[in-house]
Amino acid sequence: MKRVLFILAVCLLTTATEARNLKALFDYKTFYAPGQGPYLEWYLSINGSSVTYQPTKNDGFQASVAITYIIKSQDKIIRADKYNLLSPLLKDTMFVSDFMDVKRIPLTEGSYALEISVTDNQGGNEYNLKQNININLNAEKVSASDIELIQDYMKTDKQSDMLVKNGYSVTPRVDNFYNTGDNNLKFYTEVYNTQKLTDDAVVLAFFIQKLEDGSVLSDFGMVQRKNVSEVIPVLSEINISNLPSGNYELVAEVKDKSNNTLANSKVYFQRHNSATEVPVYAGDVSKTFVGSMSDKNVLAEYIACLRPIAGPQQSEWITNQMKASDIEMMKNFFYDFWQQQNPADPEGAWKTYKEKVDMIQRKYGTRAFKGYNTDMGRVYLQYGPPSSINKGEFEPNTYPYEMWHYDKIKNQTNKMFVFYSKDLLSRNYTLLHSDMPGEPNEPAWNIILRQKSAVTSKDIDDTGKDLKGIYSGDRTNDNYNDK
């Protein structure tokens, strides 16, 4: 029940309501059938424990609800119906299950008002909802259907079943709440009218973004190439086992070969994942080294500078939850962070790191950027001092650059980082290329360094290796290979 009420509170696509004791979840999607037009498909899931069961002639038990719906356009009733929906037949009412009504109704483009009333035929309790619906699908333009979240799918030869789509039996997921253990975000969507394009294929991009600011989570998504067609069905899933708790949107984008977005669709979902939650020290920190930290702004700065060495969940907490935390929670997080780094001497570990942060600020910090937020500062704090540095500050045909060589980083050996300054003046160099896993990798880094000069590359696969020696004073390849 808590889940139902919370989903109602967020007032998004999935509606959950309760009238007296009858409980239900409702969701809807819009699709398009070539030659027939758009249609509305809704999913009404009845909570099996909230209805009354009666004995049947077959020595079982069954519940029955009466469903009435009205669809209006500009206050005019255009569709209406009333029918009964039966629950599964049960041998024992101790083991009830939810049951679902799936309805497909053809509708033209436009705005509609849907009213649904559900009455328990035995118990008399009611469930009522009102839902505004917009349909914007036709045969003239490239478009995408709504994204349907699904519980499961399987191949089938059936054609008339209401759950069947393009050869698959698709079970809708009306609840958009994904708890710990719900590790796969399964979904179905359709793309229409791409055969009208001059291209022979389109790119379909699926990704997860944060609801609050629209920032894209690069670790959760996929890209598919599809041949153009009147209808392109997509049935897929994304592993969200490492997706932290939060409010998100699954986004689908249709792009042409020039990377222009032709259509898009998105659906909201909520994630709770205790497996990724950052542990916060639950003890009394008042007598530890953080106990005297009373300035919230200073403590926030201390926590922010941990990003270069923080893990994924810790970084997520710093970015999204620190601002909403009180100073005591921040103290607990900060102490827990350093206790994990050095259980024997968390304060000493922090002081050693703080000395590095101060040094990085003096060396790389600017008015616009803290030293630890610069690329050079972040790499230094994350991986330590480089084994050697080769500089090219005054070469006539390249931007100023530095190449940092590391003999060893954890289990990686002989790694290089290439930084450069495109504005020629700033000491805030940008990381252009590295062969360290997880870092930006730019095969044409040598070409980009030379964009200050007249040299350009006509071949997208050209890495610039053959340009060595064209210009007097050019030592980029020598410096890179001098490891």
pTM of the model: 0.59
Asked if the domains 1-136 and 140-277 are classified in one and the same CATH topology, the answer is: yes
Coil, helix or strand at residue 330: helix
* pLDDT for position 465: 46
DSSP state of 87: P
Write 33-36 long-range contacts (CB < 8 A, 24+).
33/106, 34/139, 34/192, 34/230, 34/231, 36/106
Rounded Cα distance between 227 and 465, Å, is 37
- Cα 59 from Cα 47, distance rounded (Å): 22
The phi, psi pair for 461, rounded to 5°, reads -90, 0
If 0-12 CB within 10 Å is exposed, 13-18 middle and 19+ buried, where does residue 58 land?
A: exposed
Q: Please state, in angstroms and rounded to a whole number, the distance separating the CA atoms of residues 262 and 114.
A: 29
- Phi, psi of 298, deg, nearest 5: -65, -45
Which CATH code of 3.40.50.970, 2.60.40.2550, 3.30.1330.10, 3.30.930.10 fits the domain covering 140-277?
2.60.40.2550
DSSP symbols for 148-203: EEEEEEEE---SS-TTEETTEEEEE----EE-TT--EEEEEEEEE-GGGSSSSEEE
Task: Check residue 472 and give its pLDDT.
Answer: 41
CATH class of 1-136: mainly beta
Tell me which residues of the chain have a pLDDT lower than 50: 1-20, 454-473
What is the pLDDT, as a whole number, of residue 7?
Answer: 33
**Helix-then-strand count for the chain, H and E:** 8, 25
The secondary structure of residue 466, as a DSSP letter, is G
What 3-state class would DSSP assign to 45? Answer: strand
How confident is the model at residue 15, as a pLDDT? 40
- For the chain, what is the mean pLDDT? 86
pLDDT of residue 95: 85
Give pLDDT, residue 277.
66
Write down the domain spans for the chain: 1-136, 140-277, 279-355, 386-481
Structure tokens at 65: 């609800």
Identify whether the C-beta of residue 190 lies closer than 8 Å to the C-beta of residue 143. no
220-274: pLDDT as tens digits: 999 999 999 999 999 999 999 988 888 999 999 999 999 999 999 999 999 988 7
CA distances (Å), origin 13, targets 50, 72, 270: 23, 19, 12
> In the prediction, which pLDDT does 16 show?
38
3-class secondary-structure state, position 457: coil
The reported pLDDT for the residue numbered 278 is: 65
Strands 261-271 and 177-178: parallel
The whole-angstrom separation of Cα 147 and Cα 252 is 8
Q: What is the pLDDT of residue 471?
A: 38
